[in-house]
Amino acid sequence: MIYKWGYHFDEIREQVKPLNIAPFSSERKRMSVVYYLSDRKRYYIFSKGAPEILIQNCKYYMDKDGKTIPIDSNFNAEFNRIISEFSNQSLRTILLCYREIIQD
């Protein structure tokens, strides 16, 4: 998906080093990493982990085209249905999230 949006993760990873890494914790059910992009004057926090935990902190989701859409009750119902369906098949799901913080 990231390649479809025109990003090349390997190049980005070589250029930008993480400021902080919180490794996966079974207690928190997630891991997070913080980056600072000086050209944008922004911090980014990326997290991955248990969908039922992370979704509680989300206000938007990105569709397959990279468009940001507000989360509403219809999305939440479909999201929970899919997670439950996967779980019933013994499939593990992971949610990827990010937060952008603009530096003043």
Tokens 């390649």 found at: 3
Q: What is the mean pLDDT of residues 17-34?
A: 93
Q: Is the pLDDT of residue 39 over 90?
A: no
The predicted pLDDT at position 43 comes to 92
Residue 9 confidence (pLDDT) above 80: no
- pLDDT value at 52 more than 80: yes
Give the percent of the chain with pLDDT over 90. 67
Q: What are the structural domains of the chain?
A: 9-102 (3.40.1110.10)
Q: What is the mean pLDDT of residues 85-96?
A: 93
Q: What is the pLDDT of residues 71-87, one digit of tens each?
A: 999 999 999 999 999 99
